[in-house]
Amino acid sequence: MFAGHVGAGLAIGRMEPRLNPGLVVLAALLLDVVLWILVLGGVERATIPANYAARRYLLFDFPISHGVVLAAGWALAAAGTAALVARGGSVRPGRVVAVVGLAVASHELLDLLVHVPEIPLLGRSSPALGLGLWRAMPVALAAEAAVAFGGLAWYLRGSDLSRGRRIGLVAVVAVVTALTVAGQTVAPAPPDVGTVAGSGLVSIGVTAALVGWLGRTRSAGR
Ligand SMILES: [Zn+2]
């Protein structure tokens, strides 16, 4: 899932318009940043299954980045870090804690909906969770697109962005949704997991930077 996390980040970002929405979207994708770094470092694993052409999703061994208890820990750590950074600025630290913590937690909730039962509670030997909506891929992708565009619409309703910046954000969400849908329907199997991890990190960085640039407002003091 990618576009759905972007939409959730935008929706949650509406709670504090003085916080740059690019940061909130980055928080909503934080667990995947941790995942891909740990995959590149050989600590966690993503597997391209032999029947990828039929399945259209990878399998994961990711107890540190996505385990339920540790994901809550990542949310708390990110919220605490953001509050420290925001100290003394125009953004209220309490709001920063709520927005960043919720954004990170939203990632775990959305992943629990789509992943097959592979998300451990705490550690590799603990029970694994996941509703497995990816097994009904058209349903999963329709739900993800609804979250992406619903989150975008909710964010735009609460913002005073110029027409140009609004169009830019619609374009970003349309592109990430198209890429997500293509990646899980028609795109060929990825060549190797390192490529998936590298392109995942680049996609997250570029998307958060674009949302941050387009979502800047004068009321944010810039
Ligand atoms: Zn994830």
User: Percentage of the chain surpassing pLDDT 70?
Assistant: 98
CA of 15 to the centre of ligand 1 (A): 23
CA of 144 to the centre of ligand 1 (A): 13
Domain assignment present for residue 209? The answer is: yes
Q: Is 128 helix (H, G, I), strand (E, B) or coil?
A: strand
Task: For residue range 38-76, list pLDDT tens digits in order.
Answer: 999 999 999 999 999 999 999 999 999 999 999 999 999
Q: In total, how many domains does the chain have?
A: 1
Please, which pLDDT band fits residue 222 given cuts at 50, 70 and 90?
A: very low
Q: Please give the span between the terminal C-alpha atoms of the chain, in angstroms, as a whole number.
A: 32
CA of 156 to the centre of ligand 1 (A): 25
Tokens 């909130």 locate to 24
Please, which pLDDT band fits residue 218 given cuts at 50, 70 and 90?
A: low
Q: Is the pLDDT of residue 146 over 90?
A: yes
Quote the pLDDT of residue 88: 77
| Domain enclosing residue 198, as ranges | 3-215
Domain assignment present for residue 222? The answer is: no
Domain assignment present for residue 92? The answer is: yes
CA of 10 to the centre of ligand 1 (A): 17
Domain assignment present for residue 220? The answer is: no
| Average pLDDT score over residue span 21-40 | 98
CA of 221 to the centre of ligand 1 (A): 32
CA of 108 to the centre of ligand 1 (A): 7
**The three-state (H, E, C) secondary structure of 41-64, written as one string:** CCCCEEECCCCHHHHCCCEEECHH
| Average pLDDT score over residue span 70-98 | 91
DSSP percent split of the chain into helix, strand, coil, nearest 5? 70, 5, 30
CA of 66 to the centre of ligand 1 (A): 7
Average pLDDT, the chain: 94
Domain assignment present for residue 221? The answer is: no
Domain assignment present for residue 25? The answer is: yes
Domain assignment present for residue 59? The answer is: yes
Global pTM reads 0.95
Please, which pLDDT band fits residue 193 given cuts at 50, 70 and 90?
A: very high
CA of 107 to the centre of ligand 1 (A): 6
Task: For residue range 155-173, list pLDDT tens digits in order.
Answer: 999 999 999 999 999 999 9
Q: Is 66 helix (H, G, I), strand (E, B) or coil?
A: helix
Per mean pLDDT, which range of 42-46, 55-59, 134-138, 215-219 is the poorest?
215-219
CA of 34 to the centre of ligand 1 (A): 9
| Average pLDDT score over residue span 29-43 | 98
Per mean pLDDT, which range of 16-20, 117-121, 144-148 is the poorest?
16-20
CA of 89 to the centre of ligand 1 (A): 31
Quote the pLDDT of residue 219: 52
Q: Strand runs (DSSP E) across 54-181, as ranges? A: 59-61, 119-120, 128-129
Q: Is the pLDDT of residue 152 over 90?
A: yes
Of residues 133, 178, 160, 171, the one with CA closest to residue 2: 178
